[in-house]
Structure 1
């Protein structure tokens, strides 16, 4: 498995397939395996790179110098430089979209297509920011994601009617329950605070290229409701697509729909 040292820490990523490059940037609390259905399809025609966020999957802890999503975007650009990738289509879901958009704004010439999924580039609304910060404080104090916190956190990522006995739901719950204290304290909690304490990027959305940008959102996404996607699409002037019967992790809850939409978008870009 390939690693690259960035800001003094090992960043893990996968690099599979050949062809035009696609960078998949995933959600907070998920590793690159969340993209498995898309990787299987896209690698037939494209070179797919999917990093693990700091403290997630096999990546090392959050570098101490990392204090904002701009830092995460800079590190993403360093990964592209390491791989000698001059131009890439970036697909970012949730926090992946938050830092992915920052990368696109800071390095216009490196991004030939941008798909922002189940994400929001404005600042976190104060009530939800305070709520998420309170959950992070409870995790920090406990040194573990307790069963009570799992009951709160896990459903956030899925549409309300998901079968809680399904492998998708139970595997995610088990992965969170297994996170060790050092990883929670060094990476997961501070990464959460960076994500939910992010600065407002809405005033800069007009700088994104509307002709090469697509927004997608699960039609039942709870933390990032479709209204936010519509707001951003209007500011950018680009199209948006709602993913039917899907919540926040729309690429897994309706993998076929998302994969087909991405393949269509990529075919237009390359």
Structure 2
């Protein structure tokens, strides 16, 4: 349990096990805790490293007015350099996977392979995805106030996707309670910057031809939209393996972590990190 300074931000991380490095990224507004607990079986053969993105968990925020997926990819590159990791495998959930795609395109020489779970590409395939590009927060914050707006957005997303994104809260709390880490609540200002960064990613351009490492793209069987994105990945990447996670929603790391672990083990055994 340590912290390092990454691009001027104190960044909290934990690592477990020995072997080739696996750097794991959490999703937006979350923190390292769920992965830290769920991926323990991999520590028999891998050095698993989890960290809190800037503005999340026990990592510091910053004075930047907005965050972008590219900024988080730059943070990841600096994190890998600071820890002296030699071409690790990177695995990202949701927004963490989006960061992984950007990182693989911007820093192809810094990783051996990329795995993502429930991570969309910047491409838009539906009207709903295109509508998310509208900066609702910018339009409504002066009227509603930031806290009220964020609660409203959370409620709308819950109503739209409650059948496909429901988490067993007892399971979630059990996982958090069993891990010796008490992360502070995310500041509203940091949350807003993160969500705007995610929003700016949608419809942006990414140089897929620069990604020349093996990619494992996983998504939940009951997860909306992501299957279209994994089909797209399979068409534009030279080496991409797509896997549907049975009995899982967008929270597949809670719904079916055993499947994810097995896939990561098989994926990692198929190439040489050195």
The TM tier, using the shorter chain, reads 0.7 to 0.9
- Residue 192 of structure 1: CA displacement? 0.8
**Aligned partners of 2:12 and 2:58 also within 8 Å:** yes
- Give the secondary-structure state (helix, strand or coil) at the position aligned to 2:78: helix
Name stretches of at least 5 consecutive residues in structure 1 with no aligned partner. 173-177
Q: In the alignment, what sits opposite 1:260?
A: 262
Aligned residue runs from structure 1 range 160-199, under 5 A:
160=164, 162=166, 166-168=170-172, 179=185, 183-185=187-189, 187-198=190-201
Name stretches of at least 5 consecutive residues in structure 2 with no aligned partner. 177-183
Deviations 1:118-163 (A, max 9, x none): 1122156321333874899499824368766554445778763847
Structure 2: distance between partners of 1:228 and 1:53: 24
Pair 78,165 (structure 1): closer, same or farther in 2 beyond 3 Å: closer
Q: In the alignment, what sits opposite 1:208?
A: 211
Deviations 1:143-187 (A, max 9, x none): 368766554445778763847564328999xxxxx846xx111x1
Deviates more, 1:60-69 or 1:40-49: 60-69
Structure 1: distance between partners of 2:148 and 2:210: 41
Deviations 1:102-124 (A, max 9, x none): 22122222211111221122156
Aligned residue runs from structure 1 range 94-243, under 5 A:
94-123=94-123, 125-130=129-134, 133=137, 137=141, 141-143=145-147, 150-153=154-157, 160=164, 162=166, 166-168=170-172, 179=185, 183-185=187-189, 187-198=190-201, 200=203, 204-209=207-212, 212-222=214-224, 224-237=225-238, 238-243=240-245
**Aligned partners of 2:105 and 2:206 also within 8 Å:** no
Pair 41,149 (structure 1): closer, same or farther in 2 beyond 3 Å: same
Across the aligned residues of Structure 1 and Structure 2, the Cα RMSD in angstroms comes to 3.2
Aligned residues: 260
**Aligned partners of 1:140 and 1:189 also within 8 Å:** no
Pair 144,4 (structure 1): closer, same or farther in 2 beyond 3 Å: farther
Pair 58,138 (structure 1): closer, same or farther in 2 beyond 3 Å: farther
Structure 1: distance between partners of 2:18 and 2:68: 32
**Aligned partners of 1:158 and 1:249 also within 8 Å:** no
**Aligned partners of 1:7 and 1:65 also within 8 Å:** no
TM-score normalised by L of structure 2: 0.81
Q: In the alignment, what sits opposite 2:6?
A: 6
Q: In the alignment, what sits opposite 2:181?
A: none
Structure 1: distance between partners of 2:146 and 2:66: 24
- Give the secondary-structure state (helix, strand or coil) at the position aligned to 2:269: helix
- Residue 205 of structure 1: CA displacement? 1.7
TM-score normalised by L of structure 1: 0.82
Structure 2: distance between partners of 1:269 and 1:65: 40
Q: In the alignment, what sits opposite 1:86?
A: 86
**Aligned partners of 1:21 and 1:49 also within 8 Å:** yes
- Residue 100 of structure 1: CA displacement? 1.4
Structure 2: distance between partners of 1:165 and 1:67: 29
- Give the secondary-structure state (helix, strand or coil) at the position aligned to 1:167: helix
- Specify which of 237, 243, 246 is matched with residue 244 of structure 1: 246
Structure 2: distance between partners of 1:63 and 1:16: 32
